[in-house]
A = this chain, B = another copy of it.
Amino acid sequence: MTVVSAVREVDLIIRGGTALTMSPRDGIVEDPLIIVDRGKILHASPWDPQMERQYRPKETLSAKGRLILPGLVNTHTHLPMVCFRGMADDLPLMSWLRDHIFPAEAKFINRETVYAGSILAIAEMILSGTTTCCDAYFHESSVARAAVASGFRLIPCQGFLDAGPKPGGDLTKQMEVARAFLDKWRGPSTLIVPALACHAAYTCRGETLQAIKKIAREENALFMIHLAETREEVEEVRSRFGTTPVRYLQKLGVLDGQTLAVHCNWIDSGEIDILAECDVKISHNPESNMKLAAGMAPVPTLLLRGLDVGLGTDGAASNNNLDLFGEMSIAARYHKLKEGNPTVMDATVVTVMATVGGARALRLDAAIGSIEPGKAADLILLDLSKPHLTPMYNPYSHLVYAASGSDVSDSVINGRIVMRDRKLLTIDADAAMEEVRAIARTIGRKTSI
């Protein structure tokens, strides 16, 4: 008489291929067995037939000939700006912003266009391997609704801006809005972790920065701010406040380990000390920064100082895509040239930035960023059977120097397969494209398709 052990039903089993777990303990696992249930990774190890027999999966993904890695984390986006993708390029930054982007935002951005743009942007991100992003834009609740509808993980930031196309109201009103946003988005979906953002030191009043940061602290929410993006910003802050942006924010008391500083292109060594002391998180957006000729953060130095640095695409109006593989390629290459040293920003370091480093920057590393039991099942598969990925000596090298977003074949977010063999399962891509084409037609510039 044999003992029949109970077989447990689980949501998903992934088997085969090569897993880059991004967990220091497990490293690279050949022919892994990954068991997923109720959104989480239950088990991840080299294949074990006895273990596999204990589970009956509702769905399976074969990763044979594929690379498995944690879903990529985009630490900085303005998703609805896909509506302005390529509308105005190769222009002086201030003309781009003031003559093109701000007027277009004032005229065409509303809840509906934000939702439609967000759906298209999420389609693009899933198709290029991203499973989480941190976004800030107008009508951010519409962005969050798009994420929930698509099964995509999002940190939506309610944004505050005292200057620009749509300035906010008085301080009491702003604080109400901040609390209401956090209240509204805590609960409806585990995919959504709401946060707050002030646009920048030069576009928000000091009292706004302090009040919004205070609420973020009280509510244990991330506080995002653009910081030292351009030389002009540094000059403006210096002339108005008598010091540099990082020092100004430190004086206001808004820098800490729950602050995500985006860009940090123009910072001196004293400011790096401040960022390190305050444990500020950094979002590095090389493609957008280069395209706008804004500047580039001293990332190798920031990493040496132990700062958490993630990658971001910024909005599609200044990138012009949301593919983190491009950011990996440029981040790895640019800093080598800048430092005159091909050993900095090696492929492993850059893969960390795109995965668990990004999760740390967003303070989500307890939940995502690596393939480990207990973490959410946010995973992507890459198809390696392609000429440009052949042969393979080093999978990290392939990710950073040879692959592109279109090599991602499958995507799982919170245990749910959102893309299988490049087919999106939660978004009607054709409809999403047609909606944004219609918006583009109302914007009234030439569109060829």
Contact = CB atoms under 8 A, between A and B. Distances in A.
- Residue among A320, A346, A388 with most chain B CB within 10 A: A388
B395 A448 contact: yes
A320 B92 contact: no
A296 to B, nearest CB: 6
Contact of A85 (B124, B319, B334, B391): B391
Contact of A436 (B294, B296, B391, B430): B391
Interface string A384-402: 1111101111110110011
A406 B406 CA distance: 7
Interface in A200-255: none
A289 interface: yes
B447 A291 contact: no
Contacts of A386: 127, 433
A404 interface: yes
Given A391-B447, A392-B449, A404-B406, A293 B89 contact: no
Contacts of A91: 342-343
Contacts of A87: 393-394
Contacts of A341: 92, 293
A449 B65 contact: yes
A433 B387 contact: yes
Contact of A326 (B89, B329, B340, B429): B329
Nearest to A90: B346
Contacts of A121: 387
A387 B118 CA distance: 11
A342 B429 contact: no
Nearest to A332: B291
Contacts of A395: 448
A446 interface: yes
A359 B411 CA distance: 40
A370 interface: no
A388 B89 contact: no
Interface stretch (A7-15, A36-44, A173-181, A437-445): A437-445
Contact of A394 (B89, B319, B322): B89
A290 B337 contact: yes
A343 to B, nearest CB: 6
Interface in A74-115: 82-83, 85-87, 89-93, 96
Give the 6 A-B CB pairs with smallest separation, nearest first: A391-B440, A290-B333, A90-B346, A406-B406, A86-B397, A124-B387
26 contacts: A85-B393, A86-B392, A86-B397, A87-B393, A87-B394, A89-B347, A89-B394, A90-B342, A90-B346, A90-B347, A92-B341, A120-B387, A291-B333, A321-B401, A322-B388, A323-B404, A326-B404, A329-B330, A384-B448, A385-B430, A385-B433, A385-B449, A390-B433, A390-B436, A391-B437, A404-B406
